[in-house]
């Protein structure tokens, strides 16, 4: 079992007593788990087709405005890994997946009625809507529920291999957000989490605007990994990608770490598939291209060289003179 060491203090895993306690913690940390562009709506109402098994009660909904031109509505299911993966968690998600297809009007009505009674939430949505291409609140709600597919987020305290394997029954696996709680001997708490938009966590700073656009993922590689995956297998793995990222990504860029310290290769993404039972994905590539090296800035600047995947528009790559230009 993992522990956390911070300022010479040991923090040990402190499991949640109940799903309700876990859910309260999720809601309290909405900005961290889902991003500044997200609004969590705590509605619990039965959705689905009457007199069938394809019905369920989501724990809540999430409106994600991280892409203002294409906001996304999600069902949210909060679960503990101690619950049975097959008879409880996966079954619930399957019910929700069906409900999104047959209950769009009911979902819209539930959301509109709830939001109308909550002026603070309505005002927050309006602030985001005016930056988006929607004439009014009704136009936005029609887009979220009637014109766009509703996705699913599973918030859970641990994403096990068994869970990742079970979720492969879905054509597009739900997004997984993990949240674990740790405590020191005095009861002081700290949390470890994997957010919805792990690919763009730098948006969680106050100086960033919601409205992030990207079509390209930049991945860092040592020489051996670059040669084995990119050169020899025309692929790249294993990357944690949200449903949104899997839909938007068109290109992969490789940043070669020391001693190269530059970007000089990119390729089109042919397809994206789950990678084993890791909860991550493999990108299959085509039309690989070589460009003039875009080198790491001199003098060295902290934070310029990517450590994990970073997301940009391809046009930034094609016009960049130095590596930091990719992130501007």
Residue 52 pLDDT exceeds 70:
no
* Domain assignments of the chain as residue spans, ordered by start: 3-198, 216-319
The one-character DSSP state at 281 is E
45: burial class by Cβ within 10 Å (0-12, 13-18, 19+)? middle
CA pair distance 310, 325, nearest whole angstrom: 13
> How crowded is the C-beta side of 252, counted as CA atoms within 13 Å?
31
The one-character DSSP state at 229 is I
State percent of the chain over pLDDT 70: 94
The one-character DSSP state at 174 is P
- The per-residue pLDDT for 95 is 85
Residue 203 pLDDT exceeds 50:
no
pTM: 0.88
Would you say 249 and 314 are in contact if contact means Cβ atoms under 8 Å apart? no
- The per-residue pLDDT for 301 is 82
Q: What is the pLDDT of residues 80-116, one digit of tens each?
A: 999 999 888 998 898 888 887 778 899 999 999 999 9
- The per-residue pLDDT for 87 is 86
CA pair distance 310, 228, nearest whole angstrom: 21
- The per-residue pLDDT for 210 is 52
Q: What is the pLDDT of residues 255-291, one digit of tens each?
A: 999 999 999 999 999 999 999 999 999 999 999 999 9
66: burial class by Cβ within 10 Å (0-12, 13-18, 19+)? buried
Residue 193 pLDDT exceeds 90:
yes
Integer CA distances (angstroms), 40 to 14, 62, 230, in order: 25, 5, 39
State percent of the chain over pLDDT 90: 75
- The per-residue pLDDT for 205 is 43
Residue 173 pLDDT exceeds 60:
yes
- The per-residue pLDDT for 207 is 41
CA pair distance 198, 201, nearest whole angstrom: 5
Q: What is the pLDDT of residues 109-164, one digit of tens each?
A: 999 999 999 999 999 999 999 988 999 999 999 999 999 999 999 999 999 999 99
Closest CA to 54 of 91, 88, 84: 91
Which of 3.30.70, 2.60.120, 2.60.40, 2.30.130 is the CATH number of 216-319?
Answer: 2.30.130
CA pair distance 184, 165, nearest whole angstrom: 33
What mean pLDDT do residues 204-224 have? 75
């Amino acid at each position: 079992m993992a522990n956390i060491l911070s300022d010479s203090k040991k923090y040990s895993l402190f499991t949640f007593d109940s799903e309700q306690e876990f859910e309260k913690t999720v809601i309290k940390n909405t900005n961290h788990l889902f991003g500044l562009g997200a609004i969590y709506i705590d509605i619990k109402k039965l959705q689905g087709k009457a007199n069938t098994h394809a019905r369920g009660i989501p724990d809540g909904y999430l409106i994600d405005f991280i892409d203002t031109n294409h906001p996304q509505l999600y069902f949210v299911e909060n679960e503990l890994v101690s619950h049975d993966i097959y008879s409880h968690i996966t079954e619930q998600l399957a019910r929700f997946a069906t409900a999104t297809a047959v209950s769009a009007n009911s979902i819209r009505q539930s959301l509109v009625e709830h939001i109308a009674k909550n002026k603070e939430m309505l005002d927050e949505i309006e602030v985001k809507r005016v930056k988006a291409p929607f004439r009014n609140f009704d136009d936005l709600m029609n887009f979220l529920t009637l014109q766009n597919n509703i996705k699913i987020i599973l918030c859970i305290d641990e994403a096990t291999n068994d869970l990742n394997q079970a979720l492969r029954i879905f054509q597009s696996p739900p997004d997984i957000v993990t949240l674990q709680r740790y405590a020191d001997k005095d009861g002081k708490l700290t949390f470890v989490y994997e957010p919805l938009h792990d690919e763009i966590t730098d948006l969680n700073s106050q100086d960033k605007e919601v409205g992030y656009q990207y079509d390209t993922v930049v991945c860092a590689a040592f020489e051996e990994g670059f040669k084995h995956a990119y050169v020899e297998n025309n692929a790249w793995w294993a990357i944690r990608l949200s449903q949104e990222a899997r839909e938007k990504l068109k290109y992969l860029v490789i940043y070669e770490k020391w001693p190269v310290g530059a970007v000089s290769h990119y390729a089109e993404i042919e397809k994206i598939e789950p990678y084993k039972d890791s909860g991550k994905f493999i990108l299959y590539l085509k039309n690989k291209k070589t460009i003039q090296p875009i080198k790491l800035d001199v003098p060295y600047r902290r934070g310029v060289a990517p450590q994990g995947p970073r997301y940009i528009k391809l046009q930034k790559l094609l016009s960049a003179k130095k590596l930091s230009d990719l992130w501007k």
